[in-house]
Amino acid sequence: MNTAYRVWDGEQMHYWDDEGLSLIIKSNGDWTLKRLYTDVLVPVVDSTNRNAALMWGAKVRGKFIYDRSIVKITSDDKESSDVCEVKFSDGVFQVDVSKISADYDVTAVGWVEYATIEVIGDVYQNPELLEGVK
């Protein structure tokens, strides 16, 4: 079984299905991302790197979504859209909807009704997408 993950190494994103990648997680929670080069696994980045981040993902509505993804939520009538950050908390992918809902701060991704959710980036590679979002 393959579990979707991605790793930010401080400069670039590496995805679980990239050719030759292997994620090793120790019992203490430390992890190392390695890449296969000519039959040898070579370290790419590990959990001791302060700029590194390991994020788990899931397929939601046919698209992979990860912690710290940035999504665009468009109403079904296409009259309004908002940009929000996704956070993984308490075992659930949640969208910070505090600026678009007086009733909720966050909501589970699967509970966003009457709208289309599109992953448009992430906070590591596209922080400018959240500029102006309160």
What tokens were used for 107? Answer: 């909501």
Alpha helices by DSSP H, listed for 1-134, are none
The domain spans of the chain are: 5-55, 61-124
**Strand positions, DSSP E, the chain:** 5-8, 13-15, 21-25, 31-37, 40-46, 53-60, 63-66, 69-75, 81-89, 92-96, 106-108, 115-122
Write down the residue that tokens 């302060």 correspond to: 50
> Is 117 within 8 Å of 73 (Cβ atoms)?
yes
* Rounded CA separation 48/113 (Å): 40
Task: Tell me the whole-structure pTM to 2 decimals.
Answer: 0.74
pLDDT for res 105:
59
Q: Does domain 61-124 have CATH number 2.30.30.100?
A: yes
Give pLDDT tens digits for 53-108. 999 888 776 778 888 999 888 877 777 788 888 888 877 788 877 766 666 655 65
Give pLDDT tens digits for 22-63. 999 999 999 999 999 999 999 999 999 999 999 988 877 677
> Is 109 within 8 Å of 93 (Cβ atoms)?
yes
Cα-based angle 40, 45, 50 (whole degrees, multiple of 5) = 165
Q: Which fold has domain 5-55?
A: Complement Module; domain 1 (2.10.70)
Look up residue 16 and give its DSSP letter: T
Residue 15: CA atoms inside 13 Å, Cβ hemisphere, count? 7
